[in-house]
Amino acid sequence: MEAGGSDTDGREFKNAEEMWREEVGEGDDQKKTEWYRKGVGYWEGVEASVDGVLGGYGHVDEADVKGSEAFLKNLLVDRFGSGLRNRHLVALDCGSGIGRITKNLLLRYFNEVDLVEPVSHFLEAARESLVPENSTISDMHKAVNFYLLPLQEFTPEAGRYDVIWVQWCIGQLSDDDFVSFFKRAMAGLKPDGFFVVKENVAKSGFVLDKDDQSITRSDLYFKELFNQCGLHLYKSKGFPEELFAVKMYALTSKQKRVTRSKVHSNKPAIIK
C-alpha cells in the first residue's frame, strides 16, 4: 500500500510498509506478539455490553443491524436462489464480541452460527445470552460453537459455512495475517459460500489507533488486500457514519473450491 497514513498520536507515515515495520517489525515474532497482546488487553478492559463493544456508540446498533440485514437478504437470494428455502444455512461470526450480530441478525437467517472471539469475557457473555433459555430464536436456529481464539490463529472447519461474517475486527490484524486468515478461511466456505466484511474505511491510506492497536484502512487498501487473498469483490455498499464511513463487501473465491477431503483443518478448542 503506497498511500501514506497516520496514527492517533499525530505521527505521519510515508506508506503502510513503514508503519508495519515500526509496529510489528520484519520477522520479529516477539514484537508482533506484543502488538496482539496490547490489542486484546485493551478489549479485556471494556465492559461486555453493546455500548462497550461498539466503543461508546451503542446507539448505532439498530441502524447497523438494519443496514446489514438489507445487504445480507439480497446476497442470500442472489447466491442461493430457489434452493434457499430448503438449504440448511451455517454462518461464522468472526470477532463476535458479545454475540450482538449473531443474536440480532445471523440467527434469524441461519440454522447454525459459530462464534470466534479472542476476548474471554465477551465470548462468555455471548454464550450466556445465546443459550436456548435466554434466546428468543427457535430451536431451528442456534449458536453451536464458541471458539476462544484470535483470527490470526483460527482455522475454520473445511466446507462448513455458507457465510463467514467479519465485522469491525479485521483492523486488529497486520496485513500478512489479514491475507493468511482469508486464505485459510476460504477453505471453510461451501462451494457457493461467501464472505461479508463490514468495516470502517479511511478516506485515504490508513489511520492507526494507538489505543486498541487497530488500523482503519481505505477502500483502496482493502481492495489491494482482497486481491492478494485471491478474493473476488462480488458486491459492496457504503454507509455514512459519525467517525469513519462504513463499507460492506461481499467476497467470493477467484479460484475453484477445493474439496473437503483435500483440506486439513487445525480445529480449535471449543467453549461448551
95 is in an annotated binding site: yes
Nearest of 175, 181, 257 to residue 224 by alpha carbon? 175
Q: Which three cell numbers stand for residue 270?
A: 471449543
Residue whose C-alpha cell is 476460504 = 186
Distance in angstroms (rounded) separating the CA atoms of residues 114 and 218: 29
Burial of 52 (0-12, 13-18, 19+ CB in 10 A): middle
100 is in an annotated binding site: yes
167 is in an annotated binding site: yes
For 161-230, strand residue ranges (E) read 161-167, 189-201, 206-209, 214-217
User: Do residues 154 and 79 lie in contact, with contact meaning Cβ atoms separated by under 8 Å?
Assistant: no
Q: Which three cell numbers stand for residue 183?
A: 486464505
183 C-beta neighbours (distance < 10 Å), count: 14
58 is in an annotated binding site: no
**SS3 per residue for 245-269:** EEEEEEEEECCCCCCHHHCCCCCCC
4 is in an annotated binding site: no
Binding-site residues from annotation: 95, 100, 151-152, 167
Binding-site residues from annotation for S-adenosyl-L-methionine: 95, 100, 151-152, 167
